[in-house]
Amino acid sequence: MKKRLAIIIAPILFTITSARAQSLTGQIAHWTFNGSCLDMTGHGHDGTPHNLVSTAGKSGMAGTAYYFSGVPDIANASYITVPYKSDINLDHFSICATIKVMGFYKGVCQGNMLLSRGKPGSPGSYELLFFDNPVDNDCSVVDTTGDVFATSSGTDAPASVTDWSYTPTVIENQWYSVVATYNDTVYQIYVNGVLKNTVTIATHTPVATDADSLSIGYNIYEQAAGFPYPFNGVIDDMMLYNRVLSASEIKDYTSLDVKDVTPQQNTLSISPNPAHDFLKLELNKQVKNAQVKIYNQLGQEVKSTLLNGAYLQLSLNDLPSGFYLVRIQNGDEMITEKFIKEK
């Protein structure tokens, strides 16, 4: 094995939109890729795009995701860089991603990077990727029928790379909601809300504090050494937490039927969509002084108000045509919905 990878080595549907009730507790960053790489949490983890193409997301709505080309050459590669801030030094984490795989990297070690903090395997690093090493434990052999999602934290690694194996494996032209969690000595991988793999580490080494940045869709820290691990496909959404999400929270991140939502959980219906002069918001329960904010494609807040009750009608006459995100925050719970404003 030539190179040890660090591993060693969403939504409730309402017609064409997707609503997601997701806890804000411990949330470090949230990138919706709704026409920008801005961090929607307000924590300032805004990304810089490189050679990205805006495209349709999982809902089918144009301009709500980014296409990553999978090109390994950094001058032409598709990726996002996110500068260092101290709150990305994480000893526990959850990484959530909604992606569509459209190809597999066939270079040495066959890694396909979704999110990486620092150099994989370094004391302060963590990552989420998919690769085929678990099927053969060999960086030089390519087998695209054996790719699986995996994660890592610092220098902690399983006894064997084959510990990451599970079925079914990753296939092309398939949407996935992936959640990777880490808590001291236990890694878990959830795919479309189902726990697919648990890997336990014998001894935990605390993650170091350093000043490394984040990258999305590419391994910027090792590309010069021949391990770029470019992602080829579409990323619709990505979240980063400083804690392990519960099984119910992970289920909330994946595709749900309305019947699966508990009565206590907020769900949001909006109409009409596309909208013209107004937008109606309706929750499934009463709230008090919940913040309602609308963001444009650049992630800029363009309208805000408070919601008391379960119903609100917003005037859109002062907004230009385009794609927007409406967000309702009620305590530590947040729910978002994308919509189109037409003339």
How far apart (Å, rounded) are the C-alpha atoms in residues 317 and 335? 24
Domain coordinates of the chain in residue numbers? 27-242, 264-341
Q: How many helices (H) and strands (E) does the chain have?
A: 2, 21
* Residue 7: band (very low, low, confident or very high) from pLDDT cuts 50, 70, 90: very low
What pLDDT, on a 0 to 100 scale, did the predictor assign at position 104? 96
Helix (H) or strand (E) holding 171: none
pLDDT, average across residues 61-73: 93
Three-state DSSP class for 134? helix
Whether the pLDDT of residue 16 is over 60: the answer is no
CATH topology of domain 264-341: Immunoglobulin-like (2.60.40)
Contact 238, 216 (CB under 8 A): yes
Tokens of 127: 């990552």
**Residue 159 pLDDT class (50, 70, 90 cuts):** confident
CA distances from 306 to 96, 180, 293 (A): 29, 34, 9
Q: Does residue 11 register a pLDDT over 50? A: no
| Per-residue model confidence as pLDDT tens digits over 275-286 | 999 999 988 888
Q: Is the peptide bond before 274 cis (omega within 30 degrees of 0)?
A: yes
**Cα 219 to the chain's mean position, in Å?**
16
Which string of DSSP letters, residue by residue, matches 57-113?
Answer: -TT--TTSEEEEE---STTT--EEEE---GGG--SEEEEEEEEEE-----STT--EE
Helix (H/G/I), strand (E/B), else coil: 247: helix
Q: Which of 96-105, 153-162, 316-325 has the lowest mean pLDDT?
A: 153-162
Instruction: Kindly report the average pLDDT of the chain as a whole number.
Output: 85
On the question of pLDDT at 267 being above 80, the answer is no
Asked if residues 125 and 212 have their Cβ atoms less than 8 Å apart, the reply is yes
pTM, entire model:
0.73
Q: What is the mean pLDDT of residues 143-167?
A: 89
Q: Which one has a higher pLDDT value, 132 or 267?
A: 132
Q: How many CA atoms does the CB half-sphere of 118 hold within 13 Å?
A: 23
- Contact call for residues 25 and 332 (beta carbons, < 8 A): yes
**CATH no., domain 27-242:** 2.60.120.200
Which pLDDT does position 255 carry in this prediction? 55
**How confident is the model over 75-96, as pLDDT tens digits?**
999 999 999 999 999 989 999 9
Residue 197 has pLDDT above 50, yes or no: yes
Cα–Cα distance between 322 and 33 in angstroms, integer? Answer: 15
* Residue carrying the six token digits 């305590």: 331
| 8 A C-beta contact, residue 23 and residue 249 | yes
pLDDT for position 92:
94
Evaluate whether 324 touches 341 at the Cβ level (below 8 Å): yes
Domains 27-242 and 264-341 share a fold: no
pLDDT of residue 73: 95
